[in-house]
Amino acid sequence: MNDSETAPAAPEFATPSGVEIRRYYGPEDAAAPAPGRAGEHPFTRGIQKTMYRGRLWTMRQYAGFATARQTNQRFRWLLEQGQTGLSTAFDLPTQIGLDADDPRAKGEVGRVGVHVGTIEDMEILFDQIPLDRVSTSLTINSTAAVLLAFYVAVARRRGVAVENLQGTLQNDVLKEFIARGTQVFPVAPSLRLCVDAMEWSLKNAPKFHPISISGYHIREAGSDAVQELAFTFANAEVYVRELLDRGIDIDAIGPKLAFFFGCHNHFLEEIAKFRAARRLWARIMKDEFCAKDAKSQSLRFHVQTCGSTLTGAQPLNNAMRVAWQALAAVLGGAQSLHTNSYDEALALPTETSAQLALRTQQILAYETGIPSTVDPLGGAWAVEALTAELESRARKTLERLRGQGGMLKLIEQEIPQREIQDSAYKYQREIEEGRRKIVGVNTLVLEEKEKPAQRLKISPRVEAEQVRRLKAFRKARDAKKSAAALENLGAAARGTGNLFAPILEAVEAHATIGEIFGVLRGVFGEHHAG
C-alpha cells in the first residue's frame, strides 16, 4: 500500500501541479521508461552527450531600462562581469508599437525596459558590442518583426553579415493572447507576422533562432507545471504547421526552435519538468512531425527563475529562492539561464543586485562541481517517477487540446486563459489559507518594520529626452523615402506575401516603430479581448 491510499494529498505533500509527493520512492516507481543516456533520443538526460562538461549553459541576464545609452552601459558592464549572452528587456510602448511621443505611451517610456523606436535607438543600444560574436536575445513578441528588422539593419550598417548573427527572437505571439496581454492585432495577422519573421530568418540568418516559444509567461500568469508544458507545446505545434504549410522542411525548422521556461519553487517538480519536457518534445517531433534529424528532436531551452515567486516582504530572502531555482534549472539541463535579482519584486534591479544574480550562476558553475557530471539526479527514484508523471499529465493535456480543435481555436474561445486563471486562483487560495507556506508572507513574518531596500529609479527626464531625440530623428530623415516605404508596407499587408522585407525596407528608410505599426493597425485592426 502506498501513501496515496492512506491519506488525501495535502498541499505541503503535493506539488503546485497537484502531483502527490510520496513519503517513499523505490525502484518500482522508476522502472519504466529507462532514462537512457544524454545526447540520445528521447533526450531525457540532456541534449548533448557531455552536457556542461563540454560547454556551460549561457549566462544570459535580462536587462533593459530607460534609454538605449543607459542600457548599453549595463550590457557592457554585465559582459565585463562575465556574462556570456545578452537578453534585452523592452518597455511597454516598444512592446505594443507606440512611439515615445504617442499619448498612449505617456508615463511608460523606459519604465519596464528600454525604449527602442528607431534604427538609431538600436544602433546606440548595441554600441561597441560585436553582433557577430555576442549572442543576443530580443525579448519581444507583437513587434518582434520590427525589432528584428532594426537589429538586421544595424548589422548591415556595420558590415556584419546577416548569416553571422547569433541569438534569439522571442516572437511567441500566441502566448501573449493566453498569458501576457501585449498582443496588438487579432490572432490571424499576429500569427502571420510571427511566421513571416521566422520564415525570413530561416532562409537568411542560419545561426539565429527566430522564435523562443515561451512557457515562462504562461507559468507567471498562474499556470501549473503541467499546463506550462502542454500549452507551450500546443503553441509550438501551431508554428511548426504554419511553416510546413509554407513548404519548409521539418528538419530545417526543428534545429532553429528555441523554448523558454520558468523555474518555480518546488525543487523536485521543476527538475522533473525539464526532463519530462525534453522527452515529450522529442516524441512529438519524431512521431507527430516525422523529424529525422536528432537536432530537430532536441529541446533547446532557456530558463528564467520565476519573478512571481519573489516577495516584497523580506526581499533578501529572494536571493535564496533564486539560488535554489537556478540549481533546479541546471540539474534539469537548461542551455541558458537568467537569475532574477532579489529586489525585482520592488523595482528594476540595481547594479548591486544584478551583480549578485549573475554571481549566483557563476558560483553554481565554478564552485559546486555540479557541471562535472551529466544529469546528476538521473536514476534517482523520486526524480524518475516525477518525470514520468509530469510527462504523462502533459501529454494527456496536449491530446485534449488537440481534440478540442487545437490552440488557435481555443485561444479565440479564451479557454486556455480561463484554465490558467483557475490554476492561479487555486494556488493563491492555498497561500491565503496557509496550506502552502511562503516565508515572510504567511509564515515567519517579521513584526518590526523592514528598512526600505535601495531601488533603481527611472527619472521622468528619460521620457522627455526620448521624445526630443525622436523629433530630431524625424526631422533629419528623408521624409519622402520613409513615406514611400510605409506606403509599400501597407500594400504588402493587404496582400498575402511575407511582410519582413517591406518592414526592413521601412526601417532602413528611417520609419519609426509607431509609424510601421500604425500602417499595420490600419490594415489588420486591433485585438480587443472579449
Q: Which domains does the chain have, with CATH numbers?
A: 51-403 (3.20.20.240)
Preceding omega of 42 cis (within 30 degrees of 0): yes
Task: Tell me the C-alpha distance between 411 and 261, whole Å.
Answer: 20
CA dihedral 364, 365, 368, 371 (to 10 degrees): 120
Task: Tell me the C-alpha distance between 43 and 378, whole Å.
Answer: 12
Assigned C-alpha cell, 187: 490572432
The three-class DSSP label of residue 491 is: helix
Residues 6+ apart with CB under 8 A from 425: 222
What is the predicted pLDDT for the residue at 461?
A: 92
Q: Residue 147: enclosing H or E segment and its boundaries?
A: helix 144-158
**Whether 320 contacts 439, CB under 8 Å:** no
Low-confidence ranges of the chain (pLDDT < 70): 1-10, 452-453, 530
CA dihedral 130, 131, 133, 137 (to 10 degrees): 130
Q: How would DSSP label each residue in 206-259?
A: TTEE-EEEESHHHHHTT--HHHHHHHHHHHHHHHHHHHHHTT--HHHHGGGEEE
Task: Tell me the C-alpha distance between 451 and 428, whole Å.
Answer: 27
Q: Among 172, 215, 424, which residue's Cα sits nearest to residue 304?
A: 215
Q: Tell me the chain's radius of gyration from C-alpha atoms.
A: 23
CA dihedral 483, 489, 494, 499 (to 10 degrees): -170
Q: How would DSSP label each residue in 22-84?
A: -S---GGGS-SS----TTSTT-TT-SSSSGGGT-PPEEEEEE--S-HHHHHHHHHHHHHTT--
Q: pLDDT, tens digit, for every residue of 217-237?
A: 999 999 999 999 999 999 999
Residues 6+ apart with CB under 8 A from 418: none
Angle between helices 187-204 and 513-524 (to 10 degrees): 130
Task: Tell me the C-alpha distance between 514 and 144, whole Å.
Answer: 13
Give the count of beta carbons closer than 10 Å to the beta carbon of residue 410: 21
What is the predicted pLDDT for the residue at 454?
A: 74
Residues 6+ apart with CB under 8 A from 451: none
| Alpha helices (runs of H) in 254-350, residue ranges in sequence order | 267-283, 294-297, 317-331
Q: pLDDT, tens digit, for every residue of 482-512?
A: 999 999 999 999 999 999 999 999 999 999 9
Whole-number Cα distances in Å, 457 to 65, 111, 112, 115, 460 = 10, 9, 11, 16, 9
What is the predicted pLDDT for the residue at 530?
A: 61
- Phi (first) and psi of residue 275, to 5 degrees: -70, -40
Stated pTM of the model? 0.95
